[in-house]
Amino acid sequence: MVVRAIALMVLAIGLAAPAYADATDDAFVANLQSSGINYGAPDRAIQVAKTVVCGTLNDDPNTSNADVIAKVTAATNWPTNEAAYFTGAAIQAYCPQHTFGVPSVPSKPKFHPASTP
């Protein structure tokens, strides 16, 4: 009976652990916490970041910053300033290839020495 009770407690503690257990999620949530944004449940914030922000940009990389922020605002009812910060944090954490206003850097051209006669 005692063994069963201990097993149930271990199971309950394991299930109570937050679902955002990877390093990227932890860093994202820490970023939001340090900003003072009332982002709600961490799992919901992570889901909005991945689906609304990155999902939108993956579907159409030319989506404007304002349009992505508007989608975040619609999904969360946050004020625009908070949605804008959240959007930037989400891009930084989950889809940095969509960083606004940062052109991709072309690779260095290979040096080909002139051929000798």
Domain membership flag for residue 115: no
At 49 the pLDDT is 97
Domain membership flag for residue 52: yes
Q: Which two tokens stand for residue 22?
A: 């990877």
Residue-wise pLDDT tens digits, 22-39 = 999 999 999 999 999 899
Domains of the chain: total: 1
Lowest mean pLDDT among 8-12, 23-27, 47-51: 8-12
At 1 the pLDDT is 52
pTM: 0.69
Domain membership flag for residue 109: no
Q: In sequence order, what are the residues at sequence separation of 6 or more whose Cβ sits closer than 8 angstroms to the Cβ of residue 105?
A: none
Domain membership flag for residue 67: yes
Domain membership flag for residue 117: no
C-alpha distance from residue 52 to each of 36, 67, 75, 106, 117 (Å) = 21, 11, 8, 29, 60
Say if CB 90 and CB 49 are below 8 A apart. Answer: yes
Structural domain of 93:
41-97
Residue-wise pLDDT tens digits, 71-115 = 999 999 999 999 999 999 999 999 999 985 544 434 444 444 555
Domain membership flag for residue 25: no
